[in-house]
């Protein structure tokens, strides 16, 4: 796959949405995910064993990194035509999926219990889901 700019896509410095002002980073979702992940990891470290807590934290960081990677990709496609936009987002999804698999392989090879890594992934996604529901609720008055 070529890393060349497609169809006049903006350079990262030309991108109208900076990483600091991106929806994911600015919304506080990442901090909520990190807080829930640290609390879950501490609970697992206390009540199961320290390696379980480390595995949960690894899963949390894996998903936060994946979400930040997607956030950067979405900011990079701002201003592209629809076809180039879709192609770039699909390429990003493939890379994020491969990154997730590599992260899981690293966790397994490092001796982290994959069930606890999955717990960290689940907690991170659940927090994002409920925070998004709260933020974008139709019933909001």
Whether 25 is in a domain gets the answer no
Whether 77 is in a domain gets the answer yes
CA separation, residue 129 to residues 124, 125, 126 (Å):
9, 6, 5
Whether 17 is in a domain gets the answer no
Tens-place pLDDT, residues 101-126:
999 999 999 999 999 999 999 999 99
How far apart, in whole angstroms, are the C-alpha atoms of residue 35 and residue 40? 9
Structure tokens at 113: 């219990």
Number of structural domains, the chain? 1
Please give the distance of CA 95 from its chain centroid, rounded to a whole number.
Answer: 12
How far apart, in whole angstroms, are the C-alpha atoms of residue 136 and residue 132? 6
Whole-structure pTM value: 0.74
Residue 7's pLDDT band (boundaries 50, 70, 90)? very low
Q: How many residues can be counted in the chain?
A: 141
Whether 6 is in a domain gets the answer no
Domain with 42 in it: 32-135
Tens-place pLDDT, residues 51-84:
999 999 999 999 999 888 888 877 777 777 778 7
pLDDT at 137: 76
SS3 26: helix
Tens-place pLDDT, residues 9-21:
444 444 444 444 5
């Amino acid at each position: 796959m070529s890393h060349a700019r497609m169809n006049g896509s903006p350079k990262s410095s030309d991108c109208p949405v900076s990483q600091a002002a991106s929806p994911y980073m600015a919304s506080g979702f990442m901090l909520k995910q990190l807080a829930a992940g640290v609390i879950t990891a501490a609970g697992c470290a206390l009540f199961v064993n320290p390696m379980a807590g480390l595995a949960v934290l690894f899963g949390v960081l894996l998903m936060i990194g994946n979400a930040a990677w997607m956030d950067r990709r979405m900011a990079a496609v701002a201003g592209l035509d629809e076809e180039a936009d879709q192609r770039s987002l699909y390429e990003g999804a493939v890379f994020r999926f491969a990154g997730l698999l590599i992260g899981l392989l690293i966790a397994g090879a490092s001796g982290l219990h994959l069930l606890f890594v999955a717990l960290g992934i689940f907690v991170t996604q659940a927090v994002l889901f409920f925070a998004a529901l709260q933020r974008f609720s139709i019933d909001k008055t």
